[in-house]
């Protein structure tokens, strides 16, 4: 009996694994910043103002305390790439799975427009733009439930939580005309700094980006364990994407 004990233990460990299903997946999508857009737009505007004001006031001290008027437009976008694996505790033909994925998010916000600076008889008219590009590499744990796992095509819902790094750069470029003490002069300024450089200057920029995902999609079997998926929902913004997976 003692000789059989190791075999019994091994079988007891392996048998449950045979009932577990596994899946590898990869996908990509387009991404909108709607949920984070306001904060990043405010950061872009503040950064433009800071660079513009410091340069103007350095060259034209009389403009300190001037009135700044904005007329600007914002555009935003981005993309996401992900890959990872899922475990089906009830077997590969069951509907519930737990997943782990690596994610890359790219966020891009662009500000373009005109700024008018006025103080007494002095003024400046500046045209230009600012850009904030953020790259985040993170990981996420998720749960996914197939509504009709026995069908070849089924809708599903997924929920995930994770975190990622927050790196990137902020840039600004502007040009225009300054009327100062009765003289007319050309003005130009541009600057590019990384997010790390801005942190070192004391800017309140977090180093970790929380990731929240809520998706609704369709899983369609192709054959021999392969499937495709198309999904949309929330991923710290609104996203639409798809990919392929292999389940065994």
pLDDT tens profile 3-50: 545 544 554 454 455 578 999 999 999 987 655 666 667 777 777 777
Spatial separation of the C-alpha atoms in residues 83 and 112, rounded to whole Å: 35
Which DSSP helix (H) or strand (E) runs through 94?
Answer: none
Higher pLDDT, 92 or 87: 87
Q: What is the pLDDT of residue 11?
A: 45
Domain count, the chain: 1
Q: Which of 67-71, 100-104, 133-137 has the lowest mean pLDDT?
A: 67-71
CB neighbourhood size of 74 (10 A): 17
Answer whether 32's CB lies under 8 Å from 152's CB.
no
Which range marks the domain in which residue 195 is found?
5-247
What is the model's pTM?
Answer: 0.73
Q: Does residue 184 register a pLDDT over 70?
A: yes
Question: Is residue 156's pLDDT more than 90?
Answer: yes
Please report the pLDDT score of residue 15 as a whole number. 47
Backbone phi and psi for residue 64, each to the nearest 5 degrees, phi listed first:
-60, 130
In this predicted model, what pLDDT tens digit does every residue of 201-248 receive, in sequence order? 888 888 998 999 999 999 999 988 999 999 999 887 788 999 999 999
**Amino acid 16: pLDDT:** 56
CATH number at residue 173: 2.40.160.20
198 pLDDT higher than 70: yes
Under 8 Å CB-to-CB from 177, ≥6 apart: which residues? 124, 125, 184, 185, 186, 187
């Amino acid at each position: 009996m003692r000789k059989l004990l190791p075999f019994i233990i091994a079988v007891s460990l392996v048998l449950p694994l045979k009932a577990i299903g596994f899946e590898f997946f990869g996908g990509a999508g387009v991404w909108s910043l709607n949920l984070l857009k306001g904060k990043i737009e405010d950061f872009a505007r503040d950064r433009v103002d800071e660079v513009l004001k410091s340069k103007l006031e350095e060259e034209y001290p009389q403009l300190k305390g001037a009135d700044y008027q904005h007329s600007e437009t914002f555009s935003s976008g981005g993309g996401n790439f992900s890959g990872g694996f899922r475990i089906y505790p009830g077997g590969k033909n069951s509907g519930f799975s737990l997943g782990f994925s690596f994610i890359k998010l790219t966020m891009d916000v662009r500000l373009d427009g005109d700024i008018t600076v006025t103080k007494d008889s002095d003024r400046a008219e500046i045209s230009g733009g600012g850009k904030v590009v953020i790259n985040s590499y993170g990981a996420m744990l998720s749960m996914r439930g197939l509504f009709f796992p026995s069908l070849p095509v089924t809708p599903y819902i997924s929920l995930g939580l994770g975190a990622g790094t927050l790196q990137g750069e902020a840039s600004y470029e502007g040009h225009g005309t300054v009327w100062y003490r009765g003289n007319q002069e050309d003005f130009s300024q541009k600057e590019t700094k990384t997010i790390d450089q801005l942190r070192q200057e004391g800017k309140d920029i977090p180093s970790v980006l929380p990731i929240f995902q809520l998706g609704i999609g369709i899983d369609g079997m192709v054959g021999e364990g392969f499937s495709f998926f198309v999904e949309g929902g929330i991923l710290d913004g609104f996203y639409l994407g798809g990919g392929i997976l292999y389940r065994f």
